[in-house]
Amino acid sequence: MRTVRNQPRTTREDLVNDLKAAGTIVTKKTIGNTLRREGLKSCSARKVPLLKKAHIHARLKFANEHLNDSEDNWVKVLWSDETKMELFGINSTRRVWRRRNAAYDPKNTIPTIKHGGGNIMLWGCFSAKGTGQLHCIKGTMDGAMYRQILGENLLPSARALKMGRGWVFQHDNDPKHTAKATKEWLKKKHIKVLEWPSQSPDLNPIENLWRELKVRVAKRQPRNLNDLEKICKEEWDKIPPEMCANLVANYKKRLTSVIANKGFATKY
């Protein structure tokens, strides 16, 4: 128990060998049973962004500074992000109920193409009132292209979502976002930007919308990249405003989670 508490990645085989070296012979099964009896079970470790000391400090600072902000404060934020949409994304891990010898019945298989059949990059934004525009990024995005995307999508989204005066723009600290030219562009347009801690996707509620979008798109089984883009836009527009409102209404829980987890990554 002590070994596993200190090193959760220890395998049962490691423990068998440790005990053997100390003169105790036990099987892997016994070790598994003992750990389970103590309330532990073997789980796949969650993947989280790599956080350095400065990141953890910035996350805690952000959480503490905003902990007592009113809900109205978050209603004024227009959240944004980019994501990658795979043509055969979520489908790749579907489970099927089948009989023993029916593994290769076409109903029970998932067709794959080398390299996942391709993908598209999307930029999107949303606020408590609903989803804003969704833009498909063609080619590799640089600072100039990012500013163009903002010009064509950010202000129209803010208007359509009736953000009113004093709204705040959120984007992460990607170098294209924090480039001097981008900062100047935002300043010129009088767009106020939320100061953001790096490596913090769990603090951006748009991640939940990306997940929702991916689930919805997978159900429609797009056949090619044009299809994928079209379906993404249709499904993004169908995301209910109530879902957006809920994500923002519960924002404080994210901050308390970051504080409770001492700045490390949270379940969000």
Quick: pLDDT tens for 105-117: 888 887 666 665 7
The string of pLDDT tens digits covering residues 79-88 is 999 999 988 7
> What is the structure's pLDDT at 6?
92
CATH topology of domain 53-92+119-261: Nucleotidyltransferase; domain 5 (3.30.420)
Which of these, 193, 173, 183, lies nearest to 59 by C-alpha position?
173
Taking CA atoms, 88 is separated from 23, 180, 193, 212, 217, in Å, by 51, 37, 35, 15, 10
- How many Å is the maximal CA-CA distance in the chain? 73
Sign of the dihedral defined by the CA atoms of residues 34, 36, 39, 44, in that order:
positive
**Which pLDDT value is given to residue 98?**
87
Q: Where are the domains of the chain?
A: 1-38, 53-92+119-261
pLDDT per position as a tens digit, 88-104: 766 556 678 889 889 88
Query: Dihedrals φ, ψ of 81, to 5°?
Result: -175, 165
3-state secondary structure 109-172: CCCCCHHHHCEEEEEEEEECCEEEEEEEECCCCCHHHHHHHHHHHHHHHHHHCCCCCCCEEECC
Answer for the pair 205, 79: CB distance below 8 angstroms, yes or no: yes
Give me 87's structure tokens: 């043509």
Low-confidence ranges of the chain (pLDDT < 50): none
Q: Can you give the C-alpha Rg of the chain in angstroms? A: 23
CA distance linking residue 192 with residue 18, whole number of Å:
58
